[in-house]
């Protein structure tokens, strides 16, 4: 279970897992070690060997790190593969490795069949995720996007950077969704409260003026074409 970091703990435990993004999604599991067993699609796209903690995302940058929480159980992950594919169109935005999935659900990992046994047949679970570090590889930062969006092809994404808040929040607020506590302050952001870009009134008026001018010119050109005598 995640520990709450109070202002008085500043510097005591470091800032290795300060949230950059928080949200919730449905997670499935996989184990692609190149064995071809049970739908194995080959080794992970990152080139890293299949291992506990290696997860797949349809859009986040390769190497992104964070953790998930399910019913009070926390598990770290890093993005080392791509997926889910088609299921991501239905909201399944994270593929955990089978061993981690077994730990979270109280099941047992069967290394021969590459399946989780003793978890009531569950293959999908609702989780809360926390991103603590964006990876340097291809992919798009921010809320997860379906594989079909092609966001995983994005290179050198600088659309979102780490929050500028101080490492130790002054006024911490607890989030107890799914029974765990995390720290949120001005730096951490959820998918729902990401700030919208500020657009000045002058910019809006200017854009409308340009559009209106183009419409007037287009109408005048049309009138000239209609009234032009035939050759």
d(CA 86, CA 119) in angstroms, rounded, equals 24
Question: How far out from the chain centre does Cα 117 lie?
Answer: 28
List pLDDT tens digits, range 215-225: 433 344 333 33
Query: At CB < 8 A and 24+ separation, what contacts does 47-54 make?
Result: 48/80, 50/97, 51/97, 52/97, 52/99, 52/100, 53/77, 53/78, 53/97, 53/100, 54/78, 54/80, 54/81, 54/97
Question: Is the pLDDT reported for residue 98 higher than 60?
Answer: yes
The per-residue pLDDT of the chain, averaged, comes to 74
**Confidence category of residue 213, pLDDT binned at 50, 70, 90:** very low
Q: What are phi and psi of 60, to 5 degrees?
A: -65, 150
**Confidence category of residue 16, pLDDT binned at 50, 70, 90:** low
Domain ranges of the chain: 7-184
Question: Is the pLDDT reported for residue 15 higher than 80?
Answer: no
Determine the pLDDT at residue 38: 84
d(CA 10, CA 12) in angstroms, rounded, equals 6
List pLDDT tens digits, range 32-88: 999 989 878 889 999 999 999 999 999 999 999 999 999 999 999 999 999 999 999
Q: Thinking of the domain 7-184, which architecture would CATH place it in? A: Beta Barrel (2.40)
């Amino acid at each position: 279970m995640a520990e709450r970091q109070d202002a008085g703990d500043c510097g005591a435990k470091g800032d290795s897992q300060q949230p950059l993004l928080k949200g919730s999604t449905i997670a499935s599991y996989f184990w692609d070690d190149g064995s071809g067993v049970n739908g194995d699609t080959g080794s992970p796209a990152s080139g890293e060997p299949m291992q506990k903690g290696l997860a797949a995302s349809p859009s986040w940058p390769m190497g992104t790190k964070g953790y998930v929480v399910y019913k009070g159980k926390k598990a770290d992950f890093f993005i080392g593969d791509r997926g889910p594919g088609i299921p991501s169109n239905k909201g399944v935005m994270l593929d955990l490795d089978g061993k981690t999935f077994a730990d979270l659900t109280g099941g047992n990992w069967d290394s021969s069949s590459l399946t989780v046994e003793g978890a009531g047949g569950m293959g999908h679970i609702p989780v809360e995720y926390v991103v603590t570090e964006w990876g340097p590889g291809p992919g798009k930062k921010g809320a997860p996007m379906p594989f079909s969006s092609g966001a995983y092809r994005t290179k050198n994404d600088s659309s979102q950077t780490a929050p500028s808040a101080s490492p130790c929040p002054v006024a911490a607020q607890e989030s107890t969704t799914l029974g765990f506590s995390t720290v949120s302050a001005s730096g951490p952001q959820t998918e729902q409260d990401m700030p919208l870009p500020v657009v000045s009134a002058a910019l809006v008026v200017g854009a409308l003026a340009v559009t209106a001018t183009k419409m007037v010119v287009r109408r005048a050109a049309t009138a000239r074409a209609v009234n032009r005598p035939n050759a």
